[in-house]
Amino acid sequence: MSRQLFGTDGIRGVAGEPPMDERTAHALGVALGTWAQQQSISPVSQGPAEVLIGMDTRESGPWLAAQVAGGLARTGVSARFAGVITTPGVAYLTRTGPFVAGVMISASHNPYHDNGLKVISHSGYKLADEVELELEALINEWLQGGEPAISRPLPVDTSLDNVYTDYLANTVRGAFPLHLVIDCANGSATEVAPRLFERLGAKVDWICTSPDGRNINLQCGSLYLDALQRRVVDTGADLGVAFDGDADRALFVSSTGKIVDGDAVLFLAASTLKNSGKLVGDLVVATVMSNLGFEKALESRGIHLVRTPVGDKYVLEEMLKRGAVLGGEQSGHVIFCEYATTGDGLLTALRVLETVRDSGRSLDDWSDEVKTFPQKLVNVRVKNKRPLSELASVQAEIRAAEREFAGSGRVVVRFSGTEPLARVMIEAGTHEEVDRWTGRIADAIRAELGAAG
């Protein structure tokens, strides 16, 4: 049986509409409370089961939190409310505190009118698929009962944010005598980042730190780097950092205004870990979308790249399978297993700053070692999806491209998991090659599957 409510990152939707409405949020609380009563997480946990709730800055966050808490209360499970906090902050507190589970209310980099309910287990990882199926059954059972959804507003426990900030600060040796520009995306980082970076001695110019419930990710943060680039260059800062709405990812801007993506950050981090003898197996896990130039740069350092399908879920699964300590995505979602169970933008920023400070090399110097190959992604709208292995002409074009590239280029063809699209990604030595082969493969797909209107 497949899940209907839970996707790869919890339950998502438009706030106020199913499944992100009051009754479904309440039903999740009931379901989670019922499940929580059956768990035993720690011998130090006394009294009733307890669940942690956190949120980003969307205007729908408080009422969703109150409904989840109301559902939990029906089952005798108590809730503690961290208020505005990052998703990795909820994961850390859930893992290290007396909580059966944590609920993060966020839609990450989406606009304010969307929201989501992400459930994290006491291990700090997302729930297993079979547990989410169990919760879905309990949610549907309660919804069919017709009982009213009674909210339970909660006071914010400000000590929880401080525990997480203290943990992050304690992963750093010394201070950061650097001039930074930091974009908090009017999101979760707004609460945590100022306390963290200012106590570490950095001079910081802050932008997008005035959330109003509707401006989260609005032309700011990791998806919109123009303003950050301008500010870094205009102020002569050492570098810039941009978080997304729930701060589980970070992208960077060098002192010259160059965008430094997750591939370059992974290269920097992997090189640093290898030099200190901490890069287990001399390997890094990333997705099929990571640039070939990144892979070549790792090879020059004696580091092996393992690729997974797109999605941090798959990166983490492969990391755990192989015992890898570092993995991530171009988007800036980087996982340091020594410190966290999920991607953490704040933690990533600390590791990057530490390397820049200790190496005596600028972010430009580090990122220049990753010679990015020209890359192009074409989306082909199709009438139906058949296994790519059955499309003879498409396979012929892919093989022809790979023969021509002879290891100096890459071809990635896959179907979207949510839309009627085939995605064709080509990397090669020149833009001309990229354009020619994306066009040929896209045309073959249209001929085989028909172009949707």
Q: Which residues are catalytic?
A: 108
DSSP assigned state of 20: S
- Return the sign of the alpha-carbon dihedral for residues 253, 257, 260, 261: positive
C-alpha distances (whole Å) from 377 to each of 68, 79, 383, 443 are 40, 44, 19, 14
Buried/exposed code over 50-86 (b: 16+ C-beta within 10 A; e: otherwise)? bbbbbbbbbebbbbbbbbbbbbbbbbebbbbbbbbbb
Coil, helix or strand at residue 306: strand
Coil, helix or strand at residue 83: strand
Q: From the CA atom positions of the chain, what is the Rg in Å? A: 23
**Can you spell out the DSSP letters for 346-407?**
HHHHHHHHHHHHHH---HHHHHHTS-PPPEEEEEEEBS----GGG-HHHHHHHHHHHHHHTT
Cα gap 217→109, rounded to integer Å: 6
Q: What are phi and psi of 300, to 5 degrees?
A: -65, -20
Cβ(180)–Cβ(241) below 8 Å: yes
CA angle 89, 325, 122 (to 5 degrees): 40
DSSP assigned state of 128: P
**Can you spell out the DSSP letters for 180-220?**
EEEE-TTSTHHHHHHHHHHHTT-EEEEES----SS-TTTT-
Based on the number of CB atoms within 10 Å of its own CB, is 190 exposed (0-12), middle (13-18) or buried (19 or more)?
A: buried
Cβ(192)–Cβ(89) below 8 Å: yes
CA angle 343, 341, 223 (to 5 degrees): 10
> By C-alpha distance, which of 204, 211, 205, 206 is closest to 186?
211
